[in-house]
Amino acid sequence: MTSIDVTHPASRAAGRDPMLTVDDIHVYYGNIAAVKGISLTVFPGEIVTLIGGNGAGKSTTMRTISGLLKPKRGEVHFEGKRISGLKGHEVAERGIAQSPEGRRIFGRMTVTENLELGAFLRRDKGAIAADMDRVFELFPRLKERLVQKAGTLSGGEQQMLAMGRALMAEPRLLLLDEPSMGLAPVLVESVFETIKKVNEQGTTVLLVEQNALVALNIANHAYVLETGRIILEGPAKELAHNDEVRKAYLGED
């Protein structure tokens, strides 16, 4: 895909302060640069998606935001405060939760125990039961499997559990890394409907997704990553009709 000048639509901000600002981060694995100067913003109430091929730096960016990786250069700010350099649990305490690539549920623990772990850092113990009920409203299948070992769930159910566990942290910003990976098409549709519902209930979402068409259909804004750099950004609906994007990521000639 040829490089395209990155634009910064002024109308998107509309006088608001961004919830999340990633400013020129550079992230390395040893001597290998995985992210080479990525900058992006997420505004309150949005669904923002990062799309790109394997190795583009999407998951590395998410792991850096969540505190699992430290940038060699650049900064990350959340709600006006610097969070780059904080440990993962400190980032979570600020109001960011991640549903990671590959789900990473605790297979030997029950569904209930996995969800309770999501609320481990919370101080408002009285509200946890209400949030558990919210998760069951979003994912009714989990309520049917409360005492079942998480490792025996289907792939779709494990994805529901990973998202539900992240929601139990009561995040203001939810990071979703490849939520449709390995799922049947009918389950992909269900997962993305749930993401829309979570966003409508007030949670801002940053989404990494290989299924570019579905991601662009539900997102407000999108960034296209290639080899550790952002090569294009704009309103998601416009990028869904961009010829370069359609050829590279939607399989069109």
74-129 tens-digit pLDDT: 999 999 999 998 999 999 999 999 987 766 887 789 999 989 888 887 778 778 88
Provide the pLDDT confidence category of residue 11 given band limits of 50, 70 and 90: low
Question: Range of 18's domain?
Answer: 1-95+174-190+207-253
The CATH number given to whatever domain includes residue 215 is 3.40.50.300
Check whether residue 6 and residue 40 sit in a common domain. Answer: yes
Residue 200 pLDDT exceeds 80? yes
Of 2-6, 41-45, 192-196, 249-253, minimum mean pLDDT range: 2-6
Is position 68 within any domain? yes
Q: What is the tally of structural domains in the chain?
A: 2
- Whole-model pTM: value is 0.86
Q: Does residue 148 carry a pLDDT above 70?
A: yes
Contact at 8 Å (CB) between 61 and 98?
A: no
Top pLDDT among 81 and 189 is at 81
Q: Over range 172-191, report the average pLDDT.
A: 85
Same domain for 85 and 109, yes or no, is no
Question: What one-character DSSP code corresponds to residue 17?
Answer: P
pLDDT (average), residues 23-38: 95
- The answer to whether position 83 is within a domain reads yes
pLDDT of res. 5: 36
- The CA-atom distances, in angstroms, between 126 and each of 39, 92, 132 are 38, 19, 11
**Do residue 68 and residue 180 come from a single domain?**
yes
Q: Does residue 112 belong to any structural domain of this protein?
A: yes
Residue 195 lies in a domain: no
User: 80 with 3, same domain?
Assistant: yes
Cβ count within 10 A of residue 146: 13
Residues 89 and 4 in one domain: yes
